[in-house]
Amino acid sequence: MLSIKNLNAGTGERKILNGINLEIKAGEVHAIMGPNGSGKSTLASVLAGRKEYEVLNGSVEFLGKDLLELSPEDRAGEGLFLAFQYPVEIPGLSTTNFIKAAVNEVRKYRGEEALDAVSFLKLMKEKMALMNMDQALLSRSLNEGFSGGEKKRNEIFQMAMLQPKLAILDETDSGLDIDAIRVVSNGVNKLRSKDNGILMVTHYQRLLDYIVPDFVHVLYNGRIVKSGPKELALELEERGYEFIKDEVNVGQEA
């Protein structure tokens, strides 16, 4: 479903991604791990279409389309979803109105009818129950004054509402206590299916106890330097990122 080939990207003078190659098939869960500054969040941002990043080289194909040619909203329409590491607070925009606009624009893009008020409410109630979310959050301004956990829940709630084909979770576990991690990962797991792909970006192995990946990739200096099964994450947890750095550096010297 997603095919990244030799992706090079950066901002201004700084090159951050140095030739990423990654294939994700429907039904697969991939985790990208790596030390701070390795380019994990940049990769997530580039895939979602954040303007600050410039793609210098390479290609990304998503469900047969050239992803890099699409605007961020069209990427969402095609079925890509990014759960933000830092969800944005928008005072004055109610969470309900925001989600309604999003759901209906995405439906329009997919050639579906806009949801009427009753069906929309029904869908919303169902997905809120999934995320253990308090109804009161929905009438509040989007993310304004939400706790870290509420923000991340809101991200996965939006994901549930938009029903993406590929979800990218950018450090979704950062700053969450154990209960929040359970709720969030439970939400993600319910959305797993043979038709959907998930790309998790995380610094720690912790989240992978709850959302078990099929593949783990290690990102270092803007490149995937090691890939393996889920056990690789445990090894990283035990040995830290230092051994990866050493391996890479030795490899370069040779």
Partner 1 sequence: MNNIDIFREPFNRLQSTDADPGLGAIREKAFTDLGKMGIPTVKHEEWKYTRVSSLFSKDFQLDVEANDTSVTAGDLDSLRLPGDEQANSLVFINGKFSFQLSRIISEHIVVMPLEEAAKNEYAEIVLKHFGHSSQYLKDGIHALNTAFIQGAVFVQVKKGKLLEHPVYIYNITDARGRSVLAQPRSLVHIQENAQAQFVETYTSIGSDASFTNQVTEFVVEQDAVLEYYKIQNESSDSNNVSTTHIRQVGKSYTHTVTISLNGGIVRNNLNIILDAERCESHLYGLYFQDGQTHIDNHTLVDNVKPNCFSNELYKGIIDGEAAAVFNGKIFVRPQAQKTNAYQSNKNILLSDAASVNTKPQLEIFADDVKCSHGCTIGQLNDEGLFYLQSRGISEKNAKALLLHAFAEDILEHIKLQPLREYVDGLISKRLDFNLS
List residues binding partner 1 (CB under 8 A): 48-52, 71-73, 75-77, 81-82, 84, 87-88, 90-93, 97-98, 100-102, 104-106, 108-109, 114, 141, 158, 162
Gap between the Cα atoms of 8 and 244, Å rounded? 21
Give min distance, CB of 193 to partner 1, in A. 20
Question: Which of residues 82 and 216 has its CB atom nearest to partner 1 in the complex?
Answer: 82
Give min distance, CB of 165 to partner 1, in A. 13
Give min distance, CB of 110 to partner 1, in A. 9
Three-state DSSP state, 170 = strand
Give min distance, CB of 80 to partner 1, in A. 8
CA 233 to chain CA mean position, Å:
18
Please say whether the dihedral angle defined by the alpha carbons of residues 156, 159, 165 and 167, taken in this order, is positive or negative: negative
CA 171 to chain CA mean position, Å:
8
Give min distance, CB of 62 to partner 1, in A. 14
Question: Which of residues 8 and 158 has its CB atom nearest to partner 1 in the complex?
Answer: 158
Question: Which of residues 76 and 208 has its CB atom nearest to partner 1 in the complex?
Answer: 76
Give min distance, CB of 36 to partner 1, in A. 21
Question: Which of residues 130 and 212 has its CB atom nearest to partner 1 in the complex?
Answer: 130
DSSP states along 53-117: -EEEEEEEEETTEEGGGS-HHHHHHHTEEEE-SSPPPEEEEEHHHHHHHHHHHHHHHTT-PPPPH
Gap between the Cα atoms of 51 and 244, Å rounded? 31
DSSP-derived secondary structure letter, 207: G
Question: Which of residues 98 and 210 has its CB atom nearest to partner 1 in the complex?
Answer: 98
Question: Which of residues 71 and 252 has its CB atom nearest to partner 1 in the complex?
Answer: 71
Tokens matching residue 71: 């605007």
